[in-house]
Amino acid sequence: MRGSNHMMKGRTTDSASQQLPVRIGLVGCGAQGQNHLRELATLGEAVEIAALCDLDDERLAAATETHPDAHVTKDFTGLNARGDLDLVIICTLPATHSRIAVAALRDGAHVLCEKPFAMNTVEAETILDAAEVAARRVQVGTNMRYMPHSQCLRQLMADGRLGKPLRLRVWGNHPIPPWWGPHYHRAVSGGGVLASTMVHFLDQALWICGWPNPLTASCSTEQVFPRKREPLASPEIRARYDVEDLVSAHVRFEGGLALQLDGNWCSEEGDSYGFELVCEKGTMTWGPMKVWVEGADGQIVDDTPEIPGTDSESPDAWMRSIRDQDADIVQKIRTGGGPDMQDRRQLLNLQRLVDACYESARQQREICI
């Protein structure tokens, strides 16, 4: 999200400034923060890790080992005290995202925030409003958009090869994740499998469809662990685990698209995820990728594009998508131009959809969005 006059504080877009590294501050040095640090390291002199922030001494020390010259703090309000950071990457618990993002934007930095973007639509609007006032970018870590397969399928839809999208089915089956502590507590995480996991596949599939506006949502959620299937769970886990690990939703969109979403953290056979999109002139799937389109004789034929050297389901593909996401925003900051991967409407549509699903599950009825 950018303001109309997108200019960097302390950075111009002349050729000399474009050679300067993008100075980055990282808030949250846990697993996802470390993922960003590893992928940013592949960008070489294009970036400089200038500041690190975390409440945990061990995580902060581990990050400092590889970036000894970075400014270190436990207080995010002091992260950009000198006002010389170009980008702040936020990898903290979702309940803190809004405060950290708004502070970073007001201090003149662009923001890359891990998902869930915000706890609710009000917080999302607050962040985006601050970005417009500051004329800074906000990007959310829905990095599956950067997978080559995702971009290929989106281009096919944009070219009209498959015609109007009609029915979309999105699924994600995952084993129960390891104990993530506060991540399983709704007050700080914002939700369970829907907000933390399925939001990736939702955004990917709906982005490929051109992100139509959602109209209504009907959703059911269930909590399977630890009470129903984990008799050995500790008292701490039993007391604090209050997020859904099973979700099923039906969403209607402008233009006639209907979405069926099913996700869980209860799989006994590992991870499996993907989507199927039925259109007027063909069908596409992801996980694995297949494309069928109407041929000249009216017959449906396999027209799956070849994308050499890529495997959308490999662990490396996930890390490459994080690298490509980080490289994209770094390049746009260096050059001062280029469209944002996400715009305000898309970000708010995703948050409103998630909010409506949770409200539907709570009220046990369909919700207008």
Q: Report the SS3 class of residue 36.
A: helix
d(CA 173, CA 311): 19
Residue 36 pLDDT > 50, yes or no? Answer: yes
Which amino acid, one-letter code, is at 61? A
Counts for the chain of helices (H) and strands (E), in that order = 12, 15
CA-nearest of 298, 104, 317, 103 to 200 is: 317
d(CA 341, CA 138): 10
Instruction: Match 């708010």 to its residue by tokens.
Output: 348
**Complete edge-to-edge strand list for the sheet that includes strand 272-279:** 300-302, 290-294, 282-286, 272-279, 165-173, 258-264, 246-253, 214-222, 367-368
Listed in order, the ranges of the chain carrying CATH 3.30.360.10 are 148-309+348-368
pLDDT digits (tens, 9 = 90+) for 49-98: 999 999 999 999 999 999 999 999 999 998 998 889 999 999 999 999 99
pLDDT digits (tens, 9 = 90+) for 326-363: 999 999 999 988 888 889 999 999 999 999 999 999 99
Please report which confidence band the pLDDT of residue 296 belongs to, taking 50, 70 and 90 as the band edges: confident
pLDDT of residue 48: 98
Please report which confidence band the pLDDT of residue 15 belongs to, taking 50, 70 and 90 as the band edges: low
Q: In degrees to the nearest 10, what's the CA dihedral of 66, 72, 78, 79?
A: 0
Q: Which CATH class is domain 15-142?
A: alpha beta
pLDDT of residue 82: 83
Residue 8 pLDDT > 60, yes or no? Answer: no
Listed in order, the ranges of the chain carrying CATH 3.40.50.720 are 15-142
**Inter-CA distances, 354 with 127, 140, 189, 216, 314, Å:** 17, 15, 13, 11, 27
Please report which confidence band the pLDDT of residue 307 belongs to, taking 50, 70 and 90 as the band edges: confident
pLDDT of residue 124: 98
pTM, rounded to two decimals = 0.93
Mean pLDDT of 29-48: 97
Residue 2 pLDDT > 70, yes or no? Answer: no
Please report which confidence band the pLDDT of residue 5 belongs to, taking 50, 70 and 90 as the band edges: very low
The size of the chain, in residues, is 369
pLDDT digits (tens, 9 = 90+) for 140-179: 999 999 999 999 999 999 999 999 999 999 999 998 777 6
CA-nearest of 47, 66, 54 to 27 is: 54
Please report which confidence band the pLDDT of residue 4 belongs to, taking 50, 70 and 90 as the band edges: very low
CATH architecture of 148-309+348-368: 2-Layer Sandwich (3.30)
d(CA 214, CA 360): 14
**175 with 265: CB under 8 angstroms?**
yes
Comparing 181-190, 211-220, 345-354, 355-364, the range with the smallest average pLDDT is 181-190
Q: How far apart are the first and last CA of the chain?
A: 22
Name the more confident of 308 and 327: 327
